[in-house]
């Protein structure tokens, strides 16, 4: 498989992401950014309105993170975003804010 086909293959596999929003309006703004970027996603779990797990159909984790960067006051979501189910995400903030984390799991 060449690099281009491999890149396309990873974009078509469903991606599980979980994160914590500071408040429900942050999550609403993030959904709006995802929709305006034509990123297809489904909400798998929401706990207490602010702990969220989604499955992304047509984007990479970096593309989703870039959408989150555009959210005003979306720092908590960015800091807690991991490629893990909600049940496995500690939701501890990285305090990384606008930069891509070195590891999407820790």
Specify whether the CB–CB gap between 74 and 68 falls below 8 A.
Answer: yes
DSSP state of 52: E
Specify whether the CB–CB gap between 100 and 51 falls below 8 A.
Answer: no
Closest Cα partner for 20 from 52, 56, 48, 55?
52
Task: Return the pLDDT at 100.
Answer: 75
Task: Return the pLDDT at 16.
Answer: 96
Burial of 104 (0-12, 13-18, 19+ CB in 10 A): middle
Q: Which has more pLDDT, 98 or 81?
A: 81
pTM: 0.82
Q: Kindly report the CA angle at 103 between 42 and 82, in degrees rounded to 5?
A: 25
Task: Return the pLDDT at 28.
Answer: 97
Task: Return the pLDDT at 5.
Answer: 44
Helix (H) or strand (E) holding 10: helix 3-12
Tokens representing 57 are 């159909």
Query: pLDDT tens-digit profile of 19-71?
Result: 999 999 999 999 999 999 999 999 999 999 999 999 999 999 999 999 999 99
- Most confidently predicted of 9-18, 48-57, 90-99: 48-57
Task: Return the pLDDT at 101.
Answer: 77
The CATH number of domain 7-88, selected from 1.10.510.10, 3.30.70.2750, 3.40.640.10, 3.90.1150.10: 3.30.70.2750
Task: Return the pLDDT at 19.
Answer: 97
């Amino acid at each position: 498989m060449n690099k281009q086909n491999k890149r396309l293959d990873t974009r078509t596999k469903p991606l599980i992401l979980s994160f914590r929003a500071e408040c429900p309006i942050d999550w609403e703004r993030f959904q709006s950014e995802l929709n305006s970027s034509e990123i297809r996603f489904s909400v798998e779990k929401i706990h207490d309105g602010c702990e969220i797990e989604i499955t992304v159909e047509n984007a990479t984790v970096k593309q989703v993170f870039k959408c989150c960067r555009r959210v005003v006051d979306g720092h908590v979501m960015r800091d807690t975003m991991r490629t893990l189910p909600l049940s496995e995400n500690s939701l501890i903030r990285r305090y990384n804010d606008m930069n891509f984390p070195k590891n999407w799991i820790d």
